[in-house]
């Protein structure tokens, strides 16, 4: 799609500084900007690229003061990073077709309920009494079990498996090969040293505006529900165990694992390869740095923790200084 600078400024409620008629048709990173592209500048360490960038438009913060002449037309906005995300959303929505489509070799039942302008790719399976909301897109080779509920304007990418009875809200994105609703890892030890499987009779509830990455697994609960609250963003290759609850607008990077029955608060930031033991509570606004190991509950809100076992930031730095000193002696 092609946009003029003045059109982009109108979409973002920004202000043009330069040629309002200049046109762009693609996005590019500021370090590799080229004619016909739009870039954004938000991180001060990339400022030197602004002056040499060949892109025709650069989105910048309102308070940016150039130290040299800028060749590109600038669009000033309150938050460049948020604005480019909003622009990408807008462009994607314009490209997306909501025309009704049914691929070949689809399995469905008379009791399956499909909303208006739903896309279903070839080779997908829609179970008995499953309900699919308006404008949802279900791509090729997706399995949706009996009694699954999926809301409006969801995107379910190829190869996703959603077990029977799971509930998914509106505007949810689930990437390829994610599994929603497999049994949790629950086994009872027996006197002879073997293990008896504990049946899981609960489900998974995914609220609105959640995104789940490729190859991530969210296990159903033994009883009750595993719950992913509104606005949560989960990266690829994460494991969410049975009976876990993740609070609103928490974000989680790749290869994180959360053991069973742990409750994560709202607005938490969880780095890559974090491990969180079971039956814990993590306070709201907690930040866990990459590879942090959490073995006890975090009760104080707003902490930043590092290491394994997890320690508050300052305490971790002091301990690390001692480790290094002792290692040299």
Write out pLDDT tens, residues 227-280.
999 999 999 999 999 999 999 999 999 999 999 999 999 999 999 999 999 999
CATH number of domain containing 192: 2.160.10.10
Same domain, 123 and 247: no
Per DSSP, the three-state class of 9 is: helix
Q: How far is CA 252 from CA 166, 210, 269, in A?
A: 21, 12, 6
Same domain, 35 and 113: no
Query: Binning pLDDT at 50, 70 and 90, where does residue 96 land?
Result: confident
Assess whether pLDDT exceeds 80 at residue 327.
no
By annotation, the residues acting in catalysis are 242
* Chosen domain end from 34, 68, 95: 95
Residues 182 and 264 in one domain: yes
Q: Is the domain of 249 the same as that of 229? A: yes
Q: Residue 328 has what pLDDT?
A: 63
For residue 317, is pLDDT > 80? no
Same domain, 218 and 108: no
Are 61 and 135 in a shared domain? Answer: no
Q: pLDDT band for 289, please (50, 70, 90 cuts).
A: very high
Answer whether 154's CB lies under 8 Å from 172's CB. Answer: yes
Query: What CATH code is carried by the domain that includes residue 87?
Result: 3.40.1390.10
Do 256 and 119 sit in the same domain of this protein?
no
Q: What total of structural domains would you count in the chain?
A: 3
Q: Which of 95, 128, 144 is the endpoint of a domain?
A: 95
> Is residue 232 domain-shared with residue 105, that is, in the same domain?
no
pLDDT (0 to 100) of residue 329: 59
Q: Where in the sequence is the domain holding 223, given as residue range(s)?
A: 178-329
Q: CB under 8 Å to 244, separation ≥6 — which residues?
A: 219, 226, 227, 258, 259, 260, 261, 262, 263, 264
Report the Cα–Cα distance between both ends of the chain, in Å, rounded.
Answer: 63
Question: What's the mean per-residue pLDDT of the chain?
Answer: 94
Look at residue 92 in the predicted model and tell me its pLDDT: 83
Helix (H) / strand (E) containing 200: none
Q: Indicate the residue among 57, 72, 95 that finishes a domain.
A: 95
pLDDT for position 257: 97
pLDDT digits (tens, 9 = 90+) for 174-194: 999 999 999 999 899 999 999
Residue 89: pLDDT band (50, 70, 90) is confident
Percent of the chain scoring above 70 in pLDDT = 99
Q: In terms of domains, do 261 and 208 share one?
A: yes
pLDDT (mean) for 217-236: 96
Same domain, 214 and 285: yes
pLDDT at 80 over 80: yes
pLDDT for 314 beyond 90: no
**CA-based max dimension of the chain:** 79
Residue 154 is predicted with a pLDDT of: 97
Looking at the fold, whether 203 and 322 belong to one and the same domain comes out as yes
Q: Are residues 285 and 296 in the same domain?
A: yes
Q: Rounded mean pLDDT of 102-126?
A: 93
Spacing of C-alpha 216 from chain mean position? 11
Q: 42-51, 149-158, 307-316: which has the minimum mean pLDDT?
A: 307-316
Indicate whether 206 pLDDT > 90: yes
Q: Could you write out the DSSP letters of every residue in 102-167?
A: E-SS-B--TT-EE-TT-EE-TT-EE-TT-EE-TT-EE-TT-EE-TT-EE-TT-EE-TT-EE-TT-E
């Amino acid at each position: 799609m092609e946009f003029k600078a003045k059109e982009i400024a109108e979409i973002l409620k920004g202000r043009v500084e330069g040629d309002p008629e200049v046109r762009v048709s693609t996005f590019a990173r500021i370090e590799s900007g080229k004619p016909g592209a739009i870039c954004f500048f938000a991180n001060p360490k990339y400022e030197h690229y602004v002056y040499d960038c060949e892109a025709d438009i650069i989105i910048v913060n309102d308070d940016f003061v150039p130290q040299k002449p800028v060749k590109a037309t600038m669009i000033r906005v309150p938050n460049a990073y948020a604005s480019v995300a909003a622009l990408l959303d807008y462009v994607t929505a314009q490209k997306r077709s909501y025309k009704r489509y049914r691929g070949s070799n689809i399995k469905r039942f008379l009791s399956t309920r499909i909303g208006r302008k739903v896309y279903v790719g070839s080779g997908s399976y829609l179970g008995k009494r499953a309900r699919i909301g308006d404008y949802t897109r279900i791509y090729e080779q997706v399995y949706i079990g009996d009694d699954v509920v999926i809301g409006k304007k969801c995107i379910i990418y190829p190869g996703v498996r959603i077990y029977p009875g799971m509930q998914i809200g509106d505007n949810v994105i689930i990437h390829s090969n994610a599994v929603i609703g497999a049994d949790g890892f629950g086994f009872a030890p027996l006197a002879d040293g073997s293990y008896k499987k504990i049946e899981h009779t609960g489900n998974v509830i995914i609220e609105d505006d959640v995104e789940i990455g490729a190859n991530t697994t969210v296990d159903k609960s033994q009883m009750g529900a595993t719950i992913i609250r509104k606005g949560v963003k989960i990266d690829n290759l994460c494991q969410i165990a049975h009976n876990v609850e993740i609070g609103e607008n928490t974000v989680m990077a790749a290869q994180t694992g959360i053991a069973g029955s742990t409750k994560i608060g709202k607005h938490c930031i969880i780095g890559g390869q974090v491990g969180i033991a079971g039956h814990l509570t993590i306070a709201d606004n907690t930040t866990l740095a990459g590879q942090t190991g959490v073995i006890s509950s975090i009760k104080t809100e707003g902490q930043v923790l590092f290491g394994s076992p997890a320690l508050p930031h300052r305490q971790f730095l002091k301990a690390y200084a001692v480790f290094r000193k002792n290692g040299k002696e």
